[in-house]
């Protein structure tokens, strides 16, 4: 009795895509998932969150904005179109992962997790419109975007990584591993508190919206700054540990992370002291995404066993059937 196959399973029996195609697909997903964070930031600072007052259509009678709806509708609709671009990138990743020979199931699962997070994020965006940009829903929408960025980063790393030599693994001590996880945890809390800062400030996404989070903006901004400082301190401590153990590659990763966090801190300080100019707010949002990607890459480099090399994962791969096995299967 033949097994009922999915469309992707049917394609996988007949076609194969190269590892290069998968690498390009994961890169596209990662780039577009950062781009959509930028799009959301532009929508927020331009007050275009309700430029399209309904969802999934732009208004009650049209899917696309009409000339009478103005520039805010164009900006909001353009952000929705980035989601469409993201859907194509994620679909490419899923197909490319499934059509690998041999197929590595963990990569396929990561690719599908991107799909489900795109769905959740899109629905969260729709709910934020339906609720008139409720600040808590908007914050959840941003956190879901970070969740999507997590899966695209993990998938990218899983596909592009190379096996770490035994002597290099030996240099990654327990203190370094603990500090890397602490760094990631602090960064996650820092980003979540950043949504509270945004939710309490003036940039709601709609210039007429008065519904803001009930936090004192100065107090929550100070908490955000303290968390940022702690993140810097932990990153410096991790860099010292890696330098002493001569773990070169992870040390370079942490150095890059430190550079991005310092730039992000400078942007945040300047925007707080200059009445939150729109351009700096949008840049700050994008750098939040880059900081999170950097924190994830640090964890993955300091803990190479977390996601074993694709080439060393033969135990989870599906072996490619021989020509004789293929012919025997068809005859049966």
| DSSP one-letter string for 124-170 | HHHHHHHTTS-HHHHHHHHHHHHHHHHHHHHHHHHHH--PPPHHHHH
pLDDT band at 79 (very low <50, low <70, confident <90, very high): very high
The pLDDT tens digits for 259-313 are 999 999 999 889 888 887 888 888 999 999 999 999 999 999 998 877 665 644 4
pLDDT at 324 over 60: no
pLDDT band at 314 (very low <50, low <70, confident <90, very high): very low
- At residue 189, the pLDDT reads 97
- At residue 199, the pLDDT reads 87
3-class state of residue 219 by DSSP: helix
62 contacts 80 by C-beta, under 8 angstroms: no
- At residue 240, the pLDDT reads 95
The pLDDT tens digits for 101-156 are 888 888 999 999 999 999 999 999 999 999 988 899 999 999 999 999 999 999 99
Task: Give me 288's structure tokens.
Answer: 């939040």
- Give the integer Cα–Cα distance in Å for 239 and 242: 5
| DSSP one-letter string for 186-218 | HHHHHHHHHHHHHHHSS--SSTT-----SS-HH
Reply yes or no: is the peptide bond before residue 66 cis, omega within 30 of 0.
Answer: no
- At residue 163, the pLDDT reads 66
The pLDDT tens digits for 153-182 are 999 998 987 766 666 676 788 999 999 999
Compute the average pLDDT of residues 310-328. 44
- At residue 276, the pLDDT reads 79
Task: Give me 198's structure tokens.
Answer: 């945004």
Q: Structure pTM?
A: 0.87
């Amino acid at each position: 009795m033949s097994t009922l196959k999915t469309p992707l399973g049917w394609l996988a029996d007949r076609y194969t895509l190269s590892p290069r195609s998968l690498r390009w697909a994961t890169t596209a997903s990662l780039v577009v998932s950062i781009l959509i964070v930028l799009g959301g930031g532009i929508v927020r600072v331009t007050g275009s969150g309700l430029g399209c007052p309904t969802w999934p259509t732009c208004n009650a009678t049209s899917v696309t904005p009409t000339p009478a709806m103005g520039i805010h509708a164009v900006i909001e609709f353009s952000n929705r179109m980035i989601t469409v671009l993201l859907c194509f990138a994620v679909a490419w990743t899923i197909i490319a992962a499934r059509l690998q020979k041999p197929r590595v199931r963990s990569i396929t699962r990561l690719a599908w997790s991107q799909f489900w997070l795109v769905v959740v994020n899109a629905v969260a965006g729709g709910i934020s419109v339906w609720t008139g940009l409720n600040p808590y829903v908007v914050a959840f929408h941003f956190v879901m975007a970070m969740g999507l960025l997590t899966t695209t980063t993990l998938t990218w790393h899983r596909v592009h990584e190379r096996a770490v030599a035994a002597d290099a693994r030996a240099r990654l001590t327990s203190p370094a591993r603990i500090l890397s996880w602490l760094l990631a945890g602090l960064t996650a809390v820092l980003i979540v508190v950043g949504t509270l800062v945004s939710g309490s400030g003036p940039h709601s996404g709609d210039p007429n919206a008065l519904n803001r989070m009930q936090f004192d903006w100065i107090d929550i901004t100070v908490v955000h700054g303290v968390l940022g400082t702690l993140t810097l301190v932990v990153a410096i401590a991790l860099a010292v540990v890696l330098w002493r153990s001569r773990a070169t590659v992870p040390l370079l990763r942490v150095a890059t992370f430190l550079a991005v966090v310092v730039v992000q801190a400078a942007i945040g300080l300047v925007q707080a002291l200059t009445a939150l100019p729109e351009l700096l707010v949008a840049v700050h949002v994008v750098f939040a995404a880059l900081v999170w990607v950097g924190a994830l890459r640090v964890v993955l480099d300091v803990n190479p066993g977390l996601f074993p090399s694709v080439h060393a994962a033969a135990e989870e791969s599906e072996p490619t059937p021989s020509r004789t096995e293929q012919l025997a299967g068809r005859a049966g």
